[in-house]
Chains A and B, each alone.
Chain A
Amino acid sequence: DVKVTQSSRYLVKRTGEKVFLECVQDMDHENMFWYRQDPGLGLRLIYFSYDVKMKEKGDIPEGYSVSREKKERFSLILESASTNQTSMYLCASSPYGTGGEKLFFGSGTQLSVL
C-alpha cells in the first residue's frame, strides 16, 4: 500500500511564526501536492510538484512556499503564519504518467494559528 505520511496530526503556532509542514511518500511517486481543506470550501490546491526541485502554484499560493529537495519529501512552508491560515492541510502524491490523477492522501495536519 502507498503510504503518505505527514509529520504532525495537530500543530499549534503563534501569529508570525515560520511553520514547516512535512510530507513523505514511500512509493517513488513523481507528483506531490499540498491541499488546504476548510468546511464548505472543499479541497483547494496550494502548490504541487511534478519533479525534484520543481514546483507550480495552485489556486491559493499566497502566503505559502514549498520545497522539494528529494523525490519522497515535499514541504509546505508558511513564512509568517496568520490566523486565516488555520486549517486542515492535506498532502497527496500520485505516480508518474497519471498526470495528477489517482491521488493518495496523507492523514492531514490540523494547524491552528493563535
Chain B
Amino acid sequence: GENVEQHPSTLSVQEGDSAVIKCTYSDSASNYFPWYKQELGKRPQLIIDIRSNVGEKKDQRIAVTLNKTAKHFSLHITETQPEDSAVYFCAAKYYGNNRLAFGKGNQVVVIP
C-alpha cells in the first residue's frame, strides 16, 4: 500500500517568515494529495489539496507544490502568523482506492 513520510517532524519559525513542510510518497500511481491542519484540541481540517495533473496550487498564504518524478509534495506557508501554529498532516491516495494514507504529522510553531 501507499506509504507517506513527512519531514521535519517539528518546525519552528519566526512570525512573518515562511515555513515549508515536505512529504514523500511511495506509490507512483497516487494522484491526489491533500493537506490537513489540526490546531490544538481541535479536529483536522482540509486546507488545500492538489491532483497529479497540476504542479502547484495556491490559496492566499498557503501553496502546495508537487514533484511527481521525485514523488514528493510540499506545503508552503508565507508570512506566518501565530494562528498557523498547528500540526499539519499530508496524505496521498491513488485512483480507485477509497482511502487516504496519512503521514505522521508535522508540528509547526510560529514564534511571535
Which residue numbers of A lie inside 8 Å of B, CB to CB?
31, 33, 40-45, 48, 50, 56, 58-59, 90, 99-103, 105-108
Contacts and interface: CB of A to CB of B under 8 A. Distances in A.
Q: Identify whether the interface residues of A are mostly helix, strand, loop, or mixed.
A: loop
Contact of A100 (B1, B98, B104, B105): B98
Contact of B93 (A43, A99, A108): A99
Contacts of B45: 105
Nearest to A4: B43
Given A101-B32, A101-B34, A107 B98 contact: no
29 contacts: A40-B104, A41-B104, A42-B89, A42-B102, A42-B103, A42-B105, A43-B44, A43-B89, A45-B99, A45-B100, A48-B99, A50-B98, A56-B98, A90-B44, A99-B93, A99-B96, A99-B97, A99-B98, A100-B99, A100-B100, A101-B32, A101-B34, A102-B34, A102-B46, A102-B49, A103-B46, A103-B100, A106-B43, A107-B43
Interface residues of B, number: 22
Interface of B: 1, 32, 34, 36, 42-46, 49, 89, 93, 95-100, 102-105
Contacts of B98: 31, 48, 50, 56, 99-100
A100 B93 contact: yes
Nearest to B104: A42
A103 B35 CA distance: 11
Contacts of A107: 42-43
B99 A105 contact: no
